[in-house]
Copies of this chain bind each other. A is one copy, B any other.
Amino acid sequence: MEAGDFKDFAKAMTDYITEYLENIRDRQVVPSVKPGYLRPLVPEQAPQQAEPWTAVMADIERVVMSGVTHWHSPRFHAYFAAANSYPAIVADMLSGAIACIGFTWIASPACTELEVVMLDWLGQMLSLPEPFLARSGGEGGGVIQGTASEATLVALLGAKARTIQRVKEQHPDWTDAQILSKLVGYCNKQAHSSVERAGLLGGVKLRTLRPDNKHRLRGDTLKDAIKEDLKNGLIPFYAVATLGTTSSCAFDVLDELGDVCNTHDIWLHVDAAYAGSAFICPEYRYLMKGVEKVDSFNFSPHKWMLVNFDCSTMWLKNPRWVVDAFNVDPLYLKHDHQGAAPDYRHWQIPLGRRFRALKLWFVLRLYGIENLQKHIRKQIGLAHYFEEFCNKDDRFEIYEEVTMGLVCFRLKRNNEINEELLRNINGRGKIHLVPSKIDDVYFLRFAICSRFTENSDIDLSWEEIKSCADEVLKGVSKY
């Protein structure tokens, strides 16, 4: 494809994208295709000769869009928000054109340095303590990971390295394998499944602890678990505090967990994947009280801060534990400036990395802090707007206090009826929700996802839910 064709193709795609996004609420939010729908729509093999771009363009609706779940439709209330914005799309074009692999500083100084500075910008927006920022001149700093799952794993590996060294100083005769078999980490039973996976991957025990009645992990619970494990000869080394659980957006009491972890020299990692974006608004920072006590902090602007996937930002007070754990340094990657700037390949699981800081830079500048705050506040407002509907309808109850853009609700009936309600809602296909279950209570999750969502969209979603409830409850009264 030559430059001229590229210009035409990019122009056509730009028009298509605006058409798609600006009218997205008119599309059926979840497609009605069955598994295997796509294969018959395309040839069995790649073409021998080049096709014109117009042929590809013509296939997008037929092949792709017919099977897309529209995450940016205001009718989409499943999972959590995923980011999507015009500035991020343009930034990715530039990233694709530069297409450097930023594993070391010399491999593209701008790629590393813009990331260092953007993580400082963003850290300041969240009021992260100075030891997390590179500008402080200390050891600390931030890095872009692919996902929160990777950040959890990276922190665990850092914690492992730190603890193994400490224990070896105390017990020079213990082998790595012996120490490893004694390590134990902790998280809320409601923590994301990736925490469990990080434990599996890292080959260490991870205990899930029982939260309080508001589904928050408390300091005393952690303290008791640590005491018990110490008594049994184990070595507590890592804890994950979840700020905004996936099931119900509950917040562990960080301030309490921080004290316990600091007392016992346990690496405390914060997973604020979704809710962390809200901390750019000062009024929500009470939820991260105690952040100065943690070792690493992660949230995903690719969820709620309008920076397209993937961009999960992580700050570390002492990155050297991670760097040392990962450092395998072949000659072809060595360079003269080692040490003067971070070589981010040591901060992450893969070796290669895209120029993702561009997305952050574009979004922060083209929205400005004020508009990003407005976006967060608006979405939380819409959640409360929906909450009101539930509160006003006697048949429904709110399952968890609404703090962010998620409303957990259910019919005041048994699980089966709520399951039927959800089947009904998703079966009609106008809106899309997913459920969750805590302590055997099944509930529906209504997440505000699209940046296009307005009050009138919530009105429509509520009408749909109400009408499905009417139907389900009519069925019930028959028995």
Contacts and interface: CB of A to CB of B under 8 A. Distances in A.
Nearest to A38: B113
B38 A1 contact: no
A150 B350 contact: yes
Given A46-B369, A203-B203, A366-B1, A93 B13 contact: yes
A426 B437 CA distance: 60
A-side interface size class: 35 or more
A20 B95 CA distance: 12
A46 B84 contact: no
A368 interface: yes
A225 interface: no
A279 to B, nearest CB: 14
B79 A38 contact: no
Interface stretch (A250-258, A329-337, A454-462): A329-337
B308 A370 contact: no
Interface in A157-211: 157, 177, 180-181, 193-194, 196-197, 200-203
Contacts of A138: none
A326 to B, nearest CB: 7
A90 B362 contact: no
A230 interface: no
Contacts of A92: 92-93, 96
A133 to B, nearest CB: 11
A214 to B, nearest CB: 19
Contact of A365 (B56, B93, B108): B56
A135 interface: yes
A277 interface: no
A93 B97 contact: no
B82 A101 contact: yes
Nearest to A194: B351
A47 B87 CA distance: 15
A246 B67 contact: no
A147 interface: yes
A241 to B, nearest CB: 19
A331 B435 contact: yes
A310 B354 contact: yes
A284 interface: no
Contact of A72 (B69, B84, B99): B99
A315 interface: no
Contact of A45 (B64, B124, B354): B124
Given A3-B18, A35-B109, A37-B113, 14 more contacts: A1-B85, A1-B86, A17-B94, A35-B340, A39-B135, A46-B122, A64-B114, A66-B110, A67-B110, A68-B111, A69-B108, A99-B308, A302-B352, A332-B435
Contacts of A48: 368-370
A400 B177 CA distance: 40
B38 A117 contact: yes
A110 B90 CA distance: 23
A38 B5 contact: no
A135 B113 CA distance: 45
A95 to B, nearest CB: 8
Interface string A1-39: 111011101110111111011100000001101111111
Contacts of A89: 6, 10, 93, 96-97
A105 interface: yes
A17 B4 CA distance: 12
Interface in A370-384: 370-371
A193 to B, nearest CB: 4
A263 B361 CA distance: 54
A82 B100 contact: yes
A71 interface: yes
Contacts of A96: 84, 88-89, 92, 308
Contact of A326 (B107, B181, B197): B197
Interface string A118-149: 00111011000000000100000000001101
